[in-house]
Every structure is written in structure tokens, then in C-alpha cells.
Structure 1
Amino acid sequence: MQRIRKGDLVEVIAGKEKGKRARVLRVLQKTQRVVLERLTMVKRHTKPTQNNQGGILEKEGTIHLSNVMPVDPGTDKATRVKTIVKDGVRLRAGKSGTVIEAEKK
């Protein structure tokens, strides 16, 4: 089961963005990285095409999974995730026992 999913509220625990909170936009399983909303902004230089004007675009960069922790909704603190089984369904829960649900968009 995934520790962090798209839509989760996470706190950055290491790196230059340490202490900040953001929503997960994407989880890249192969490289074990996550893209967080409006954090680690990077500049991308793009060539003009028929569809695109080109120029310098700013977009979100990635952070390694080990540098983020989900926020426990019960205590509002960063927490490790444990799995619990309720009615035959595996759920993610924080240390307080509160179930962590990803925000639906």
C-alpha cells in the first residue's frame, strides 16, 4: 500500500522547503518522487512551437518520497503511516489512529 497518494496533505521534513506543507499533485513510482503544489519551483526553457509561444516557464519540481511525511488529520502533525483493516478493507492511518483520506478533486 502506498504511504503517500495524490491529494494528500504532506509536510516537507528535509531540504530547502523544510517545514512547509502542500498537497501532492503526482506520485512518480519509478523514481520514488512526488510533485507538490507550488513548492520547489523550477524554470523550464521551452522552444516556440505552433501550439506554444515558448519562453521561460515556471513549474513544480519533484521531491524524494523520503523527504515528505503525511499530516495526521487527528493531531495536525506530520506522522508515520500504519495500515489498519476495517471491514476487510485496508486503510491508512496516522499514529493517533485517525484514517488518512486523500482529498477528492
Structure 2
Amino acid sequence: MQKKLHIKVGDTVKVLSGESRGQEGTVLTIDRNKERATVGGVNVVKRHTKPSASEPQGGIVEKEGTIHISNLMVVIKGQASRTGRKEDAKGKLVRYSKKSGEEIK
């Protein structure tokens, strides 16, 4: 069974540590096995590629690298916040902000 994570694809997150500390972006992908996420516009790395059939020009390609999930925090209303889980009125578990108490969609 996969571990429940505090972030989901589409969340706006803030980087807490590392070279990209303080930057914000949107989560593009999540690798649950390695517990790493790709965040748009953050941790951009340059990749040198040889010309191929799919990339006839070759050259230097920039793309986002992954960041460990423990170094990310969800941003709600412009502020980074820890998240928790609680039951809503229907009895379904939902994520909520521990700072403001509101539910995260």
C-alpha cells in the first residue's frame, strides 16, 4: 500500500531547503516510490542531448529536476502551511491547513 502524501499534483508548494529554497511552483508529477516531486520552474537542470530522430537539433535542454517531498510545503493564500487530515461532514477524510484550519481542495 502506498504512503499518503501531504501534497498532490496541482498544489502550489514552497521549497523549504536546498538550492531552490524559498521558490514557489506548481507540482507537475509525483514519484511515490522515491517520494520525490517535480515542481514547475524550480530546480531547473540543463541536459546535454545528442541529435536523434525525435530531437534532430540536439543541444542543451532545460527541464525541471525532482525535489524530495519532505522539502516541500503547501501554500494556501500566499502562506506556507503544514497539512493534516480530518473528516468532513460526510465522513470523508480531507486535507486541511493547520495554520488557517480551512480545507484544501
Q: How does the TM-score come out when normalised to structure 2? A: 0.86
Q: Counterpart of 2:37 in structure 1: which amino acid?
A: V
Aligned counterpart, 2:81? 79
Query: What is the number of equivalent residue pairs in this alignment?
Result: 99
CA distance in 1 between partners of 2:76 and 2:62 (Å): 31
CA distance in 2 between partners of 1:33 and 1:26 (Å): 9
CA distance in 2 between partners of 1:2 and 1:67 (Å): 12
CA distance in 2 between partners of 1:77 and 1:17 (Å): 17
2:61 counterpart SS class: strand
Aligned counterpart, 2:67? 63
Between Structure 1 and Structure 2, which shows a larger proportion of strand residues? 2
Q: Counterpart of 1:85 in structure 2: which amino acid?
A: E
CA distance in 2 between partners of 1:20 and 1:56 (Å): 24
5 Å matches for 1:5-44? 5-44=8-47
Identity %: 39
Deviates more, 1:49-58 or 1:26-35: 49-58
CA distance in 2 between partners of 1:79 and 1:91 (Å): 15
Ranges of 4+ aligned residues in structure 1 off by more than 6 Å = none
CA distance in 2 between partners of 1:9 and 1:48 (Å): 35
CA distance in 2 between partners of 1:20 and 1:49 (Å): 34
CA distance in 1 between partners of 2:73 and 2:61 (Å): 28
Q: Aligned Cα RMSD in Å?
A: 1.2
Matched, 1:2 2:37: no
**Stretches of structure 2 lacking an aligned partner (at least 5 in a row):** none
